[in-house]
């Protein structure tokens, strides 16, 4: 039955990645015994395709079946909770207080994503500055993107502070430079926009010139390290 679980988990993941969520759920419902990885794969698949309510319901059902959630289960359902700020906060508290699972930057990032989608951007900023670990560039980029999408007036200067923090952490990342430069241009701040677009062009040139070196190094050191996580998890 263990091998069966492993195979079904793999198939659920493949179906979900292809957008065939119905068939993925069919696989889950037909298997007799499901382990934590099987449930998590289905929850993640639902989350990735915007089925937030179904993902949350499946998470509660997994717990009702006495399957203990792990870090991946919580991360999957947190990403499903877009617009569900209250539920997201509850899951973070349960993860840390009840299950004693250490919160990582990805969990906090998922909560920032939830707050951002709900247009609670200043609340998201306060949440970030009070988390007990150092927020990474992904978290700041998520919040800054939300500011640009919702185009909220920056009376408190929070958006500019987020920009400064992001560019300080990743001053040469072309995507950051391009995003901020476009916003400056949209606001008529042409001097700032031009400066950042020049930096963006320089970053792209540097990336192209170093790509050949990076490829040869990765091929020497084992270029297939991206596919490890799920396979290792299933076999554990």
Token pair 């909560």 is at which residue?
111
Same domain, 120 and 133: yes
The answer to whether residues 47 and 17 touch, using CB atoms and an 8 Å cutoff, is no
Asked whether residue 35 falls in the same domain as residue 84, the answer is yes
pTM summary value: 0.70
Residue 199 pLDDT > 80: no
CA–CA dist 95, 103 (Å, integer):
8
**196 falls in which pLDDT band (50, 70, 90)?**
low
Token couple for 232: 């290792």
The per-residue pLDDT for range 96-142, each reduced to its tens digit, is 999 999 999 999 999 999 998 888 888 999 999 999 999 998 899 88
Check whether residue 190 and residue 160 sit in a common domain: no
Query: Mean pLDDT, to the nearest integer, of 2-24?
Result: 87
Do 25 and 94 have their domain in common? yes
The structural domain count of the chain equals 3
- Regarding whether 127 and 76 lie in a shared domain, the answer is no
> What is the distance between the terminal CA atoms of the chain, rounded to a whole angstrom?
14
| pLDDT grade for 198, boundaries at 50, 70 and 90 | low
121 shares a domain with 179: no
Report if residue 223 sits inside a domain.
Answer: no
Kindly report, residue by residue over 143-187, the tens digit of the pLDDT. Answer: 888 887 877 666 678 888 888 888 787 766 766 666 766 666 666
Asked whether residue 234 carries a pLDDT value surpassing 60, the answer given is no
Q: Which positions ≥6 away from 189 have C-beta within 8 Å?
A: none
Within a domain: 121: yes
- 138 lies in a domain? yes
Residue partners of 125: CB distance under 8 A and separation at least 6: 143, 158, 161, 162
């Amino acid at each position: 039955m263990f091998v069966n679980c492993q195979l079904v988990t793999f198939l659920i993941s493949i179906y979900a990645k292809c957008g065939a969520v119905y068939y993925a759920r069919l696989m889950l419902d037909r298997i007799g015994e499901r382990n934590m990885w099987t449930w998590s794969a289905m929850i993640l698949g639902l989350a990735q395709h915007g089925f937030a309510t179904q993902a949350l319901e499946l998470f509660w059902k997994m717990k009702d079946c006495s399957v203990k959630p792990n870090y991946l289960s919580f991360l999957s359902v947190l990403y499903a909770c877009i617009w569900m700020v209250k539920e997201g906060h509850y899951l973070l508290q349960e993860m840390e207080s009840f299950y004693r699972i250490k919160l990582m930057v990805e969990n906090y990032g998922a909560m920032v994503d939830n707050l951002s989608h709900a247009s609670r951007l200043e609340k998201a900023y306060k949440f970030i500055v009070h988390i007990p670990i150092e927020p990474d560039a992904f978290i700041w980029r998520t919040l800054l993107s939300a500011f640009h999408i919702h185009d909220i007036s920056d009376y408190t200067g929070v958006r500019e502070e987020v920009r400064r923090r992001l560019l300080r952490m990743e001053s040469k990342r072309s995507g950051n430079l391009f995003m901020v430069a476009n916003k400056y241009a949209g606001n008529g701040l042409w001097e700032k926009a031009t400066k950042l677009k020049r930096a963006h062009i320089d970053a792209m040139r540097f990336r192209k010139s170093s790509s050949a070196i990076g490829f040869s190094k990765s091929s020497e050191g084992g270029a297939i390290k991206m596919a490890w996580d799920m396979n290792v998890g299933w076999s554990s």
